[in-house]
Amino acid sequence: MGPWPNDPLGPQARAAADIYWIMFIAAVIVLVIVDGGLIFAGFKFRARPGHTAKQFHGHNLLELVWTIVPTIMVISFSVLSFEKLNFMNDTRTNAEMTIKVEGTQWTWVYSYPEEQRFKAADGTYLQAAEELHIPVDTKVRLELSSKDVIHSFWVPNIGGKKDAVPGRPTEMWIQADRPGTYKGQCFEFCGTGHADMLVTLVVHPKADYANWVTGALVEYNRANSEETKRGRELFISLPCAGCHTIKGTRAGGKVGPELTYVASKPSIAGGLLSPVNEANLTKWIQNPPAVKPGTVMPKLDLSAEQITDLVNYLLTLKCPTNPTAKCP
Ligand code: CUA
């Protein structure tokens, strides 16, 4: 953010900023002329010793000027505003993809287009919460809806702001000039979690976007796979749940470390295994004492398949970007 109150980084925001600056500069010019004239006249024609205040009663040229000039200004601002509004409301022309955005107390869920590149192993299409990923310099149409109450989608630097209303679909578009992560905020009070209902928009270089999709599909497939479901049930039924807590499940043990966001931790086994990935989790679960002699975590008699299921499940336990979550 620069020294100015707005820092437009996309055509949508730029349209709003352009009109803001044009009106602001026009207002300053009017202020200087009107107040300058007032002060000048007040001093020059005021009553003072040896000088009586002058009285003016009508001046045709002045009256004409200050009627015609403001009329022209107001008409020009209207035309300009309509032109920008048309541009900002045009969600269709040149839109390269459509992403469905659903507001829910208190997060956004993004469903990517039903295209081959977003197709998951189970035949559904990529869907994710917390972060919206788009390619740079690409007009992306957003279809907004809400599961519960009215929310409002807004990323200030990118511009455009639209309500997500239950039962009444709305749409907007976004486009970013350069890659990066942009923060936004739900802009309609929607309950106790409203302040934490953030928008995180990640803009990728065009060549990188396919890579992100591939990675996101791996995660999506993992989260929706049979292995993960089996892993979750295994974790609850095995002694794991007696020692570890995973919030939102029946696993509530206090002996070992909490695993609610284990996949986002920098390491496991007290720092001996880093990063937290498939290989390290497998190594650890197979035989904890071999990795860390003296550890209280026992070597359980698990089949290779059971370990794969458990690892798949643990890798889905990622910290959401939502800051209300207490993450490692
Ligand atoms: Cu959703 Cu405020």
pLDDT-based confidence at 321, cuts 50/70/90? low
Answer whether residue 101 shows pLDDT above 80: yes
- Cβ–ligand 1 distance for 101 under 6 Å, the answer no
- Note whether 11-89 and 226-314 share their fold: no
The architecture that CATH gives domain 226-314 is: Sandwich (2.60)
The minimum-distance atom of ligand 1 relative to the CA of 194 is 2
Compute CA distances 81 → 20, 22, 114, 141, 271, whole Å.
10, 11, 35, 22, 58
- Whether ligand 1 lies within 6 angstroms of the CB of 103 is answered as yes
Domain boundaries, the chain: 11-89, 97-224, 226-314
- pLDDT class of 1 with cuts at 50, 70, 90: very low
- 119 DSSP 8-state letter: B
Distance from the CA of 183 to the center of ligand 1, in angstroms? 14
Fold of 11-89: Helix Hairpins (1.10.287)
In ligand 1, which atom is closest to the CA atom of 164? 1
Distance from the alpha carbon of residue 169 to the mean position of ligand 1, in angstroms: 16
Tell whether ligand 1 has an atom less than 6 A from the beta carbon of residue 265: no
CA dist 229 and 167 (Å) reads 32
Q: What is the DSSP code (8-state) at residue 105? A: T
CA-closest candidate to residue 219, choices 179, 278, 267, 271: 278
Cα end-to-end distance, the chain, whole Å: 29
DSSP 20-36: HHHHHHHHHHHHHHHHH
pLDDT in tens, 42-51: 888 888 888 8
Ligand 1 centre to CA of 184 (Å) is 11
- Calculate how far, in angstroms, residue 293's C-alpha sits from the geometric centre of ligand 1: 49
CA of 161 to the centre of ligand 1 (A): 13
pTM of the model as a whole: 0.75
97-224: in CATH 1.10.10.10: no
